[in-house]
Amino acid sequence: MTSSSSSRKRQHVVDTAYLLFKRDGFHATGVDRIIAEADIAKMTMYRHFAAKDELIVAVLEHRAARFERELDRLAATADTAAAKIATILDWHERWFRDADFHGCLFAHALAEFGDPDHPVFKAAARQKNGLRARMRFILEKELPPERAEEAAAALLMLIEGATLMAQMGEAATAIANARRAASAILAGARVPQ
Amino acid sequence: MTSSSSSRKRQHVVDTAYLLFKRDGFHATGVDRIIAEADIAKMTMYRHFAAKDELIVAVLEHRAARFERELDRLAATADTAAAKIATILDWHERWFRDADFHGCLFAHALAEFGDPDHPVFKAAARQKNGLRARMRFILEKELPPERAEEAAAALLMLIEGATLMAQMGEAATAIANARRAASAILAGARVPQ
DNA sequence: CCTAAAAGAGACAGACCTGTCTCATCACGG
DNA sequence: CCGTGATGAGACAGGTCTGTCTCTTTTAGG
């Protein structure tokens, strides 16, 4: 069984498709282009993924898992809730500065696949809700559940908006003001009310 | 000269294309579909718009102008800066509740046309920067320019994030927490620092 | 009413799309 | 070494895409 070779090919397709999807979008990237860039036969792709949509979902899930792993690692280096949230903003700052930054692939997937029942939409929404749940979990150590829930939602919105601003070429402004606003939101959440 | 009839046809194409673009996206909506839905000949469309991209830009500009007009009208009903900002959030709350809400067309345009030099990208970015400038202008009446600038950027990010959450089916959560976070941001901006 | 502009209708080109199929080739495990 | 499963290569189908062209019909102003 060449199962390791098999998953190596599959992963290569996912990695190649990821680069094309993030640069040109999902609909604008044809299967022919993916297999040409990956230098594989078309049937190799269709043996691993029944349809293009399945490949898109696989790409999103792979990137989401990678994202979670990286944030897990960063969170371990901080102790307070505010510091853990700060590592998430640090991660975004580095991302925004990347030369190949083209905005959030998950947000783009929500834009191109607007049907909430579509597997691609659901995969993208999972990533967003995962980030929100992560921040809520962090904040629940220091805030009442209700306040943690609200602050996590506010921080998620702030981060998504910052990513959009960064895509419009204002990465530095976005991250600086996101940090300031995050402090204000956390300060507000600590006030008993 | 049938200039009024001419612009009536043109506007009808823009209105029809808008509905299709917001429902299905830009790349997923073909020209054939637009002319069928608008019940016009293909050449009528191509006489008004040299290419599909030009139609997309026209749709975005028409919607942006409409947006600005509506916010102008609402702002006139409020006096303080906080109240004027609140009318913007009110507008978004009503929008999120609309049965035909499918997320922000401008954000979707940025997602599908990632090239910052593309006319569609630029048209979408103009709308976002217009909203930010509007809020900065409002805040400058009560805050120092630097604080107004920062708060406007934070509020824009919050609103964009709220729109994304609303598209994921959490309109109520999004708007409630956006209001709370907006208060926290404005409170933070008033603190001398 | 008459004329000129606008619009309708539809064929057409050429490219691209997803997905299927066949057959040759290769690599590797038993 | 042999055979089995993964892969390569490319034709192919059937559809859709944008944009052009021609010819006819409608519309509306003077």
pLDDT digits (tens, 9 = 90+) for B92-113: 999 999 999 999 999 999 999 9
Query: Scanning every residue of chain B, which has its alpha carbon at the shortest distance from the alpha carbon of A149?
Result: B177
CB contact under 8 A, B102 and A114: yes
Instruction: Provide Rg for chain B, Cα atoms.
Output: 19
> How confident is residue A66, by pLDDT bands cut at 50, 70 and 90?
very high
DSSP class of A142: T
> How confident is residue A6, by pLDDT bands cut at 50, 70 and 90?
low
d(CA A136, CA B84): 31
Nucleotides of C under 7 A from a protein CB: 5-11, 16-23, 27-29
Q: Which whole-number Å values give the CA distances from B66 to A21, A91, B60, B70, B127, in the listed order?
A: 32, 37, 10, 6, 11
Q: How many CB atoms lie within 10 A of CB A15?
A: 12
d(CA A151, CA B48): 48
> Mean pLDDT, to the nearest integer, of B16-36?
97
Are the C-beta atoms of B165 and A157 separated by less than 8 Å?
Answer: yes
> How confident is residue B31, by pLDDT bands cut at 50, 70 and 90?
very high
- Residue A44 pLDDT > 70: yes
User: If you count residue pairs, one on A and one on B, with CB atoms under 8 Å apart, how many are there?
Assistant: 155
d(CA A178, CA A88): 11
* Predicted local confidence at residue B8, as pLDDT: 85
d(CA A78, CA A84): 5
Q: Token digits for B125?
A: 């970015």
Protein residue at shortest CA distance from C1' of C20:
A43
| pTM, rounded to two decimals | 0.95
Tell me the pLDDT tens digit for each residue of A113-166.
Answer: 999 999 999 999 999 999 999 999 999 999 999 999 999 999 999 999 999 999
CB contact under 8 A, B27 and A24: no
- Chain B nearest CA to A78, separation (Å): 24
* Predicted local confidence at residue B6, as pLDDT: 54
Instruction: From the CA of B16 to the C1' of C11: give the distance in Å.
Output: 25
Are the C-beta atoms of A152 and A159 separated by less than 8 Å?
Answer: no
Instruction: From the CA of B51 to the C1' of C14: give the distance in Å.
Output: 17
Phi-psi region of B39 (alpha: psi -120 to 50; beta: other; left: phi over 0): left
Instruction: From the CA of B144 to the C1' of D18: give the distance in Å.
Output: 51
Which residue reads 């107004």 in tokens?
A: B148
Helix (H) and strand (E) counts in chain A: 9, 0
Are the C-beta atoms of B125 and A168 separated by less than 8 Å?
Answer: yes
d(CA B166, CA B154): 18
CB contact under 8 A, A184 and B180: no
- Chain B nearest CA to A75, separation (Å): 23
Q: How many CB atoms lie within 10 A of CB B10?
A: 17
CB contact under 8 A, B177 and A25: no
- Chain B nearest CA to A180, separation (Å): 8
Q: Which residues contact A170 (CB under 8 A, 6 or more apart)?
A: B153
Pick B3 or B170 by higher pLDDT: B170
Which of B118, B177, B183 has the most A C-beta neighbours within 10 Å, making it the best mutation to test the interface with A?
Answer: B177
